[in-house]
């Protein structure tokens, strides 16, 4: 075995490969340059493959790249020995390198043919782009579905909040109406007895002044009760066809007094406004209440604006709280401080007020709300902090038409005490 190996490595009887080229320089250096360049390329390619596979660990079949790297590296070594054997006849060592190269090449070829079906099964770039496009479309559909679901949840939350608010207002209204009704009856007894005492008491009696004070207090309490009944929608209404624009014009002086200004409010009234069927006196009271609120909300030289317009059924169907019928909308707008979301959510609640103690009962807006609801309409507040507030009253259109029974401003404008309606 040792003798065989020694004989294989013995090069004493061998001639270098350059002798076959007759040591012609042009042939020698042509072979040297070509083999050197090939060897350099073969040594560079495995390094590039190794760096690529190392940095891209997501590459499928990375081991195949390493097999190619070993094979190409062995091929490069054979070219180096081609240069070496031009001068040194180490053909045995060159043969050993070729054996290693042959082994690497056959193993790589076998692995490549085994791998070929799996490699062909990989999707093409076009297929990947198509799959990616389909995936992006599904993601967009999912995002759209999630957005729709979130919107549905938000809409459900808003509906639940509106339901809770409605239930709360109904409960407060029932309680307020019951208390106001019973207190109204008690006030009726008090006022009737005070009136009876006043008739029998001598005019020169010193008790007359105390009696008048008691009567004034009782009448103010009666007005407060009427506001509570209005919110509870249990006040007696005398509905009749009314032209809103005419009523607003006739209210000019009263509105100027309510706004505490020499200038009347700006009127932006629709010329072809429909008529409504409401209690004219209560509509006047509602507009006066809203004008007082507008005055209190404004500072400086602010000026209130009263608007009116027709709201056809098609438009009403898109407004929350309205039935799909014709309405007349009357709005009182101010340029005041506006309302925050928290205040806006409670604005129609009875006894809720942002005014200082003693400056308001908190029943003005609740009375307006109750009046519009009892008249078959709806009240809405639109407000932005720092920009002002507009209160809209939506009253159903009167389909019967105006008649001679329409009350004018003088007959409709009566003292609130005359509408106590004691039961």
Least confident of 139-148, 341-350, 414-423: 414-423
Question: d(Cα 60, Cα 146) in Å, to the nearest integer?
Answer: 35
Q: For 13-18, what is the mean pLDDT? A: 80
pLDDT for 166 beyond 50: yes
pLDDT for 404 beyond 50: no
Classify residue 291: in a domain, yes or no: yes
pLDDT for 388 beyond 70: yes
pLDDT for 274 beyond 90: yes
Looking at 72, 98, 122, the residue that finishes a domain is: 122
Question: d(Cα 313, Cα 203) in Å, to the nearest integer?
Answer: 60
pLDDT for 415 beyond 70: no
Classify residue 201: in a domain, yes or no: no
| 14: its two tokens | 């061998």
In the chain, pLDDT over 90 holds for what percent of residues? 18
CA distances from 385 to 82, 92, 335, 344 (A): 91, 97, 10, 10
Query: Which pLDDT value is given to residue 140?
Result: 93
pLDDT for 55 beyond 70: yes
Residue 371's pLDDT band, with cuts at 50, 70 and 90, is: confident
Classify residue 216: in a domain, yes or no: no
> Mean pLDDT of all residues in the chain?
79
DSSP string of 23-60? T-HHHHHHHHHHHHHHHHHHHHHHHHHHHHHHH-TT-T
End-to-end alpha-carbon separation of the chain, Å?
134
CB 14 within 8 A of CB 88: no
CA distances from 180 to 177, 421, 422 (A): 5, 12, 11
Classify residue 292: in a domain, yes or no: yes
Asked if 250 and 113 sit in the same domain, the reply is no
Query: Which pLDDT value is given to residue 407?
Result: 43
Asked if 260 and 402 sit in the same domain, the reply is yes
CATH code where residue 383 lies: 3.30.565.10
Q: For 104-127, what is the mean pLDDT? A: 85
b/e per residue, 202-223, with b = 16+ CB within 10 A? eeeeeeeeebeebbeebbebbb
Selected residue with higher pLDDT from 295 and 379: 379
Least confident of 48-52, 110-114, 195-199: 195-199
Query: Which pLDDT value is given to residue 420?
Result: 38
Classify residue 209: in a domain, yes or no: no
Residue 329's pLDDT band, with cuts at 50, 70 and 90, is: very high
Least confident of 103-107, 185-189, 350-354, 409-413: 409-413
Q: Supply the Cα-derived Rg of the chain in whole angstroms.
A: 50
Residue 11's pLDDT band, with cuts at 50, 70 and 90, is: low
In the chain, pLDDT over 70 holds for what percent of residues? 76
pLDDT for 261 beyond 70: no
Query: Which pLDDT value is given to residue 54?
Result: 87
Looking at 104, 122, 140, the residue that finishes a domain is: 122
Least confident of 82-96, 174-188, 277-291, 388-402: 174-188
Find, among 304, 307, 309, 332, the residue nearest to 319 by Cα: 309
Query: Which pLDDT value is given to residue 413?
Result: 40
Tokens 């029974």, located at residue:
405
Query: Which pLDDT value is given to residue 340?
Result: 85
| Strand, coil or helix: 380 | strand
Query: Which pLDDT value is given to residue 423?
Result: 37
Find, among 383, 385, 382, 346, the residue nearest to 365 by Cα: 346
The residues near 212 (Cβ < 8 Å, ≥ 6 apart) are none
pLDDT in tens, 330-364: 999 988 888 888 888 888 777 677 665 555 555 67
Classify residue 278: in a domain, yes or no: yes
Query: Which pLDDT value is given to residue 416?
Result: 37
Question: d(Cα 269, Cα 327) in Å, to the nearest integer?
Answer: 15
Q: Looking at the 3D structure of the chain, how many domains does it have?
A: 2
pLDDT for 290 beyond 90: no
Range of the domain at 112: 2-122
pLDDT for 277 beyond 70: yes
Q: How many CB atoms lie within 10 A of CB 240?
A: 18
Selected residue with higher pLDDT from 225 and 312: 312
Classify residue 144: in a domain, yes or no: no
Least confident of 97-101, 242-246, 259-263: 259-263
Query: Which pLDDT value is given to residue 412?
Result: 39
| Strand, coil or helix: 302 | coil
Query: Which pLDDT value is given to residue 172?
Result: 64
CB 342 within 8 A of CB 331: no
Torsion of CA 258, 322, 234, 251, to 10 degrees: 20
b/e per residue, 257-284, with b = 16+ CB within 10 A? ebbebeebbeeeeeeebbbbbbbbbbbb
CB 94 within 8 A of CB 84: yes
pLDDT for 368 beyond 80: yes
Residue 159's pLDDT band, with cuts at 50, 70 and 90, is: confident
Q: At what angle do helices 91-120 and 62-84 cross, to 10 degrees?
A: 160
Question: d(Cα 269, Cα 265) in Å, to the nearest integer?
Answer: 12
Looking at 81, 102, 122, the residue that finishes a domain is: 122
Query: Which pLDDT value is given to residue 60?
Result: 80
310 forms bridges with which residues in the sheet?
A: 328
CA distances from 328 to 222, 243, 284, 308, 319 (A): 31, 10, 15, 7, 13
Query: Which pLDDT value is given to residue 243?
Result: 92
pLDDT for 405 beyond 50: no
pLDDT for 8 beyond 70: no
CA distances from 383 to 287, 366, 409 (A): 18, 17, 31
Find, among 284, 381, 289, 258, the residue nearest to 331 by Cα: 381
What does the angle CA 156 – CA 159 – CA 164 come to, to the nearest 5 degrees? 125
DSSP string of 94-134? HHHHHHHHHHHHHHHHHHHHHHHHHHHTSPPHHHHHHHHHH
The residues near 312 (Cβ < 8 Å, ≥ 6 apart) are 326
């Amino acid at each position: 075995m040792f003798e065989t190996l020694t004989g294989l490595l013995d090069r004493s009887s061998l001639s270098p490969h350059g002798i076959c080229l007759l040591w012609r320089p042009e042939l020698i250096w042509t072979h040297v340059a070509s083999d050197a360049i090939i060897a350099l390329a073969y040594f560079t390619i495995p390094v590039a493959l190794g760096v690529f596979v190392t940095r891209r660990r997501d590459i499928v079949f990375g081991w195949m790249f390493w097999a190619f790297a070993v094979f190409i590296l062995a091929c490069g070594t054979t070219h180096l020995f081609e240069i070496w054997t031009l001068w040194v006849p180490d053909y045995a060592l060159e043969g050993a390198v070729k054996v290693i190269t042959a082994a690497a090449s056959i193993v790589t070829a076998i692995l490549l043919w085994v791998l070929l079906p799996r490699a062909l099964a990989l999707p093409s770039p076009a297929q990947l782009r198509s799959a990616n496009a389909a995936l992006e479309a599904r993601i967009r559909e999912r995002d759209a579905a999630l957005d729709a679901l979130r919107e549905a949840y938000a809409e459900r939350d808003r509906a639940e909040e509106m339901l809770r608010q409605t239930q709360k207002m109904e409960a407060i209204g029932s309680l307020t109406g019951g208390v106001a009704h019973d207190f109204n009856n008690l006030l009726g007894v008090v006022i009737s007895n005070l009136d009876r005492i006043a008739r029998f008491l001598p005019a020169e009696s010193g008790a007359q002044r105390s009696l008048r004070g008691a009567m004034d207090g009782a009448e103010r309490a009666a007005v407060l009760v009427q506001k509570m009944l209005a919110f509870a929608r249990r006040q007696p209404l005398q509905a009749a066809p009314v032209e809103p624009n005419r009523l607003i014009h006739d209210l000019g002086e009263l509105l100027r007094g309510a706004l505490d200004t020499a200038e009347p409010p700006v009127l932006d009234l629709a010329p072809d406004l429909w008529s409504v069927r409401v209690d004219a006196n209560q509509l006047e009271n509602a507009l006066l209440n809203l004008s007082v609120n507008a005055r209190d909300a404004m500072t400086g030289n602010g000026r209130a604006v009263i608007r009116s317009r027709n709201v056809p059924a098609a438009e009403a169907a898109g407004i929350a709280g309205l039935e799909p019928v014709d309405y007349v909308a009357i709005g009182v707008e101010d340029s005041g401080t506006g309302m925050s979301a928290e205040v806006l959510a409670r604005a129609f609640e009875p006894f809720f007020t942002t005014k200082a103690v003693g400056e308001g009962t908190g029943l003005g807006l609740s009375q307006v709300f109750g009046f519009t609801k009892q008249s078959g309409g709806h009240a809405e507040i639109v407000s932005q902090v720092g920009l002002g507030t507009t209160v809209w009253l939506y009253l159903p259109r009167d389909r019967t038409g105006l008649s001679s029974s329409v009350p004018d401003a003088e007959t409709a404008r009566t003292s609130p005490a005359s509408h106590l309606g004691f039961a």
